[in-house]
Amino acid sequence: MNNAGKYEAFDITPPQPGIIPACPVSPDALIGIPRQQTNPCLWDGSEWRAFVSELASKEIHVDERNASRLLYVTDAGGMAYGRPGGVLIARSTKMVAEVMKAAQKYGVPVTVRGGGLTTEGETVAFGGLQLDMRGMSAVLEIDKEHLTVRCEAGIYWHSLAEALRRHGLDYLSAPLNMTSSVGGTLGVGGIDINSPRLGCSADQALAIKIVTPTGEILECSESENAWWFNRVLLGYGQFGVITEATLRIRHFTPLTMHYFYYGDLRTAMEDLVMLCDEDAADYAGILTMLDRAVNLLVAFDTDERERAFFTTWRKRLRGFGELGFAARTGLYYILRPWKYREALYLLERKRTLLPELRPAHHLSQGKIVDRTVVFSQAVWKFWGGRQMVIPDLATSREKFFEAVLRGNEVCKKYFPHYTLYCVGIKIVGPPERYELSCIPPDAKGIAYGCEFEPMLEGRTYSRDHLQSFKNEIYDIGVDIGTSYYRFGGMMKGYIRRVFGDTLVDTHLAMKRSVDPAMVLNRDVIF
């Protein structure tokens, strides 16, 4: 039944970036889902060789060895796979500018990567050039008087912390992960458990040096090239490559951590919202173990703040201390012996997780010396692995409860054990910075976020299964109107669904005006 003779060739090339063609199936097929390929095909444009040659003529040598390219085949998420045509370790802003000029000239996609801690393939190159920023990881200047630091964008936060600590200083806000890079974090936001007070990590940037998609070098701040400043911060890498950043810092203080335990998720969420609204703690967040074992953690930089909390707010919290909670929970399970597996799981978590959050070697006089190290070790130990599956919903205060409770039910469908991580994010920057970002447009004052984190526990799941889980979480966001922290890459099909065509098309027009060949981080948003 070979009908090759009747065959008339048709175009199988993919649409240009940002173009969503009319659907020939039916206008109401897959209602609301845009016709976007979220798992891109490899780019293999014919201009690659000319691009590499031009860079070589400027003493910029692209590494095309297979072994080097395969090092970048996926990101921390482990869900998206792709190969760059070549890899380049960035060494200077000037070098990055030359790369972007040549990329624009030859139409070669450039995918920028720092720590590679994206979870949706945002830093995975599907052909083209992988620009590894970790070659630019120096601390350039520490200003103790004005409490600022200037660093290169490829530096890991833990390296920055180490440099600052030598001067008795510390960063203000960074993701709970040691190997995130500063540039990557500023590009997407960066959430810490002090975000209810300080906003996201990007909000701590005073100035950034960027290379635009056409290769121009700009110094940006609220007073200089402000448009670029607020486009590049939380801009998902669409409008420029951050090569240097000036960040606010502070004097180092160890922190005191307290845990309160709840048998009910909603109650814990209500208390978290109360603490965030009233600025009652320096750090606050929720970590769940089971529906009936919810941990609200609060922490303080100073003894004064801690005392104020215990004087004013502790009595309003409905959570228990460890002993009180253990007694209540023990009674609960004694009366329900058929739930013995749940009880055993809880005991095991108590035995393994809690000591990780209070490691003796990171404590000094009962205070945690470096929260990032403590938390990121716990993150990798308990939630990390070959795949990191952490879909999230970022909401206004009003939608927070529904989003989390519905997401919690989805988690139960897919995994035996999981953790919810809830935190507030203060909105401190100008509104244009947060357009098309993890801060939902209807959030006022403080936005709330929840990560839904399955405990993969060494089990093997198909990517298909994990993607179905993520889709179901994100569908909640579409349904009730939230944003997401991770909406790029494989989840970019949700961008138009949650932000609407008008806003996305506005950003697409801006992107086209500054990146005519659409080469910088091509497959991430558009």
Partner 1 sequence: MTKRMTADVVIVGASLSAAAAAKRLVDAGYETIALERFGLPRAKPCSGIISPRGHRFLIENFGPLPQEVLHEPTACRGVTFYFPGGVELPMQFDGGMTPHLNRTYSDYWAIKRSGATIHDNMRFIGATDQGTHVDITASNGCEEAYYRARYVIGADGPNSKVVSTLYPGYRDRITWFTVKQHLHEIIECPLDPEYFHYWFHPALGYYTWSHLRNNRQIVGVGYEANHDFRERHERALRYLEERHGVKLGPCNARETSVNNFGLSLINRYVFGRGNIIVTGQAAGFLNMIAEGMSAALHSGAIAGEAVVDAFRLNKPIQEIYRTMIQSEVRRCSDQWNIFKILFGRPHEADFMGTLAKRSLNEKLIVLRDVAKFLAPWGKYNWGRQMLWQAITRQITGGYNPRRWL
Of 313, 177, 186, which Cα lies nearest the Cα of 239? 186
- Cα–Cα distance for residue pair 323/347, rounded to 1 Å: 13
Beta-carbon contacts of 72 under 8 Å, excluding residues fewer than 6 positions away, are: 83, 84, 87, 113, 116, 124, 125, 130, 132
Applying CB under 8 A, the span of 4-12, 100-108, 333-341, 499-507 interacting with partner 1 comes to 4-12
Q: Is residue 11 near partner 1 by the rule CB under 8 A?
A: yes
Give the range of 54-62, 64-72, 111-119, 174-182 binding partner 1 by CB under 8 A: 64-72
Q: How many residues bind partner 1 (CB under 8 A)?
A: 48
Told to check if 341 binds partner 1 by CB under 8 A, we report no
Cα angle 6, 12, 15; round to 5: 150
Candidate residues 16, 17, 18, 35; the one interacting with partner 1 per rule CB under 8 A = 35
Using the CB atoms, write b or e for 339-358: b if 16+ within 10 Å: eeebbebbeebeeebeeebe
Q: Closer to partner 1 at the Cβ: 270 or 475?
A: 475
* CA 486 – CA 506 distance, rounded (Å): 20
Comparing CB distances to partner 1, the nearer of 7 and 323 is 7
Contact segment (CB under 8 A) with partner 1 among 33-41, 45-53, 308-316, 361-369 equals 33-41
Interaction of residue 7 with partner 1, rule CB under 8 A: yes
**Which residue lies nearer to partner 1 by CB, 153 or 473?**
473
Nearer to partner 1, 32 or 321 (CB): 32
Q: Does 31 sit near partner 1 (CB under 8 A)?
A: yes
Cα Rg of the chain (Å, integer): 24
β-bridge pairing 418-426 and 283-290: antiparallel
**Binding flag, residue 327, partner 1 (CB under 8 A):** no
Closer Cβ to partner 1, 39 or 148, answer by number: 39
What mask of x and - would describe binding to partner 1 in positions 348 to 387, judged by CB under 8 A?
----------------------------------------
Smallest CA-to-CA distance from 297 within 263, 261, 273 is with: 261
CA distance 271 to 14: 49
Check binding of 1 to partner 1 (CB under 8 A).
yes
The answer to whether the CB of 301 falls within 8 A of the CB of 279 is: no
Residue of the chain from 17, 51, 62, 69 that contacts partner 1 (CB under 8 A): 69
In the bound complex, what is the minimum distance in angstroms from residue 497's beta carbon to partner 1?
A: 13
Site string for partner 1, 448-487 (x = CB under 8 A): -----------xxxxxxx--x-------------------
Instruction: Return the residue of 16, 21, 223, 338 that touches partner 1, per CB under 8 A.
Output: 21
Residue choice 2, 16, 223, 502 for contact with partner 1 (CB under 8 A): 2
Nearer to partner 1, 16 or 223 (CB): 16
Alpha carbons 327 and 350: distance in angstroms, whole number = 14
Q: Which of 25, 323, 334, 335 binds partner 1 (CB under 8 A)?
A: 25
Residue nearer to partner 1 on the CB measure, 365 or 462: 462
Region 79-98 residues binding partner 1, contact defined as CB under 8 A: 80-83
- The rounded Cα 464 to chain-centroid distance in angstroms is 21
Residue 256: φ, ψ to 5°: -105, 130
Provide long-range contacts, Cβ within 8 A and 24+ apart, for 218-223.
221/246, 222/430
- Residue 130 bridge partners (DSSP): 87, 111
Select from 51, 106, 126, 434 the one that contacts partner 1 (CB under 8 A): 126
- Look up residue 24 and give its DSSP letter: S
CA distance 174 to 164: 14
Nearest to 41 by CA among 109, 93, 142, 143: 109
Residue 248 or 417: which CB sits closer to partner 1? 417
Q: Does 68 bind partner 1 (CB under 8 A)?
A: no
Chain positions contacting partner 1, by CB under 8 A: 1-4, 7, 10-12, 14-15, 20-21, 23-26, 28-31, 33, 35-39, 41-42, 66, 69-70, 73-74, 80-83, 126, 459-465, 468, 490, 493
